[in-house]
Every structure is written in C-alpha cells, then in structure tokens.
Amino acid sequence: MGKDNVKFQNVDEYIRQFPVEVQNTLQELRLVIKEVAPEAKETISYGMPAYSLHGSLVYFGAWKNHIGFYPTPSGINAFKEEVSQYKGTKSSIHLPFTKPLPKELISKIVKFRVVENKKKAQDKVK
C-alpha cells in the first residue's frame, strides 16, 4: 500500500499517504507505542515508522489489508500464544484492518521490548 521509492521525512508524512480510516488506525498504534515508550526515538527506517531505545525497538507499516507490526522475533516469541491468532512471520504480526487494533497486546509487547533493550544496554556497560 505504501508508495514505492518515496522517502518520508517523518512519521506524520508516512501516515498522511493513506486513506483516513488507515491513518486513524496508524495513529492509534503510534499512540500506544508513545504511551509505553515515551523516551523512544521516532524515525523512519526501511521506509516505515521505527522506534528505537537502546537499539531498535519496534517498527510498523501499512499494507493492502493489514498493518505489519515488527517487534523483532523476541517480541513475538515472548507472546507466542497471544499472537498466534494473527498471521505473520518470525519477526512480524499482521493486524488486519477488519479487526480492532489489539492495543493491550501491542502495549505488552512494546513494554517487553523496552525492558529487553534496557537490559541489553546495561549488560554492555558491565
């Protein structure tokens, strides 16, 4: 669904390219991430919204029929049972536009990734 070879300057620009209903869902997802990880840096990476905090945290992108949520394989493995109801890959969860956004699940995954990245950063210091 994204525009090929278009470079977005920021997440607002990325979100604006989509129909209003999709924009609303993307903004909801963005808000959940920002609430859980307010100190995470928001940027565009691999052509989609990305969040980093002591390294890569999560990404998301809109496709034709779903939002791809990319919390890294560890973020998926930690919630294997809960994410099993969604299609996806070892590093992505496909959130269909036909279902409400699973905000609680997204929140738990982002919290997990924040803790994981902070621990990795502390371990590097030791």
Digit-by-digit pLDDT tens for the chain (126 residues) are: 444 446 889 999 999 999 999 999 999 999 999 999 999 999 999 999 999 999 999 999 999 999 999 999 999 999 999 999 999 999 999 999 999 999 999 999 999 999 999 998 888 877
- Its domain, for residue 72, covers 11-125
Q: Residue 5 domain-assigned?
A: no
CATH code: domain of residue 53: 3.90.1150.200
Q: What is the pTM of this model?
A: 0.91
Distance from C-alpha of 1 to C-alpha of 124, rounded to nearest angstrom: 39
Residue 2 lies inside a defined structural domain of this protein: no
Q: How many domains does the chain have?
A: 1
Q: Identify whether 62 is part of a domain.
A: yes
Dist. CA 50–CA 59, nearest whole Å: 4
Residue 65 within a domain: yes
Report DSSP state, residue 4: T
- On whether residue 121 sits in a domain, the answer given is yes
